Amino acid sequence: MNNYGVYPSLKGRAVFVTGGATGIGESVVTHFCHQGSKVAFVDINVEAGEHLVDRLAREARNAPLFLPCDLVSIGTLQACIQEAQRRLGTLRVLVNNAANDDRHKLESVSVDYWDERLAVNLRHQFFAAQAVIPGMKQAGGGSIINLGSMSWRAGMGGMPAYVTAKAAIEGLTRGLARDVGKSNIRVNTVVPGWVMTDRQIRLWLDEEGERTMDRMQCLAGRVMPEDIARMVLFLASDDSRMCTAQAFVVDAGWL
C-alpha cells in the first residue's frame, strides 16, 4: 500500500461506506483509513465488521466506526448516517458499495424477489445520497461514488434483476450529478470488472472462468479489490475536482 498515491485532501475527511465489512468494501474502508480519513461503514455481517475494526485499530492511522445495518431498511440506514455524522462530523464522501450478485433464472423471479433485489442493489444508493447531500451542501461540497458493474454492459445473463439494478445506477449517477453539481458535489460511478474477492473465488471462479478472463481482458493480471479502492480514493479526493457524472471502468480492458 505504501507504493501508491497519498491524497492530502482525504486526511481527516469524514467518509461513509456501505457494505464495508468484506470484499471491495473492506478494501475501500482499509484504504481510506490508511489515508487518515475518518471512516464509518455499515454492513449486515457483524462478525466481519467487528474483525475489520480490530485489524485497522492495530495498523491504520484511524480505526473506523462500524454500525451494523441491513440496507433494506432505509430507516435504519438513515439513522446510521445520522449517527456517523454525529460522531465523525459532516460526511464529505459517500461510497455506495453494498450489493449482492446472487444468480437467478428469469423463470424463477417473483414480484417479491424482484423488489428485494432492487432494494439490495439500488434503492439504498439513492437514499444514502439523499441523507448526506444537505450536509455536503452546507460544508461547501463533497463526493458521492456509486459502485456499478460491467455485467450489464457485457450483456451477461443469469441475473436479470441484478443487471437491471446495476444499469440503473449509472442513470442515477448522471441525474444526481446534474442536481447537485452547482453545490460543488460530485457524483460518479466506478464500474468494476470481475473482481477477485473471496466471495467470487469461493462461489463462481473455476477453470472456465480463468480462461474467460484470459480471453476477455486486455491485461494479463486479475482485478483485485484494491484496484477498485484506489479508483475510489482518487474520486473522493480533491485531485478529481472536475470529474462528475462519469463512469470509471476498472476491468483490465474487458469492455
CATH number of the domain at 17, please. 3.40.50.720
Q: With 90 as the cut, is the pLDDT of residue 61 above it?
A: no
CB 23 within 8 A of CB 95: no
CA neighbor of 134 nearest in space, from 123, 145, 142, 126 = 142
Question: Apex CA 70: angle with CA 67 and CA 76, to 5°?
Answer: 70
According to DSSP, the β-strands at 185-192 and 14-18 are unpaired
In a domain, 203, yes or no: no
pLDDT per position as a tens digit, 170-219: 999 999 999 999 999 999 999 999 999 989 889 878 999 999 999 999 99
Say what the pLDDT of residue 142 is: 98
CB 125 within 8 A of CB 146: yes
Say what the pLDDT of residue 203 is: 86
In a domain, 204, yes or no: no
Q: With 70 as the cut, is the pLDDT of residue 112 above it?
A: yes
pLDDT per position as a tens digit, 230-254: 999 999 999 999 999 999 999 999 9
Structural domain boundaries, residue 38? 10-197+225-250
Q: Chain-centre distance of CA 142, in angstroms?
A: 16
Using CA atoms, how far apart are residues 41 and 228, in angstroms rounded to an integer?
A: 17
Q: Give yes or no: 162 in active site.
A: yes
In a domain, 120, yes or no: yes
CA neighbor of 94 nearest in space, from 60, 69, 130, 48 = 130
pLDDT band at 1, cuts 50/70/90?
Answer: low
Indicate the pTM of the whole model. Answer: 0.97
Q: With 80 as the cut, is the pLDDT of residue 104 above it?
A: yes
Exactly one of 4, 7, 113, 162 is catalytic; which is it? Answer: 162
pLDDT per position as a tens digit, 18-33: 999 999 999 999 999 9
pLDDT per position as a tens digit, 66-97: 999 999 999 999 999 999 999 999 999 999 99
In a domain, 92, yes or no: yes
User: What are the backbone dihedrals phi and psi of residue 164, each rounded to the nearest 5 degrees, phi first?
Assistant: -65, -45
User: What are the backbone dihedrals phi and psi of residue 47, each rounded to the nearest 5 degrees, phi first?
Assistant: -60, -45
Question: Apex CA 146: angle with CA 140 and CA 147, to 5°?
Answer: 155
Using CA atoms, how far apart are residues 185 and 75, in angstroms rounded to an integer?
A: 24
In a domain, 191, yes or no: yes
Using CA atoms, how far apart are residues 239 and 213, in angstroms rounded to an integer?
A: 31
Domain count, the chain: 1
CA neighbor of 23 nearest in space, from 200, 223, 147, 197 = 197
Hey, which residues does 43 pair with through a beta bridge? 68
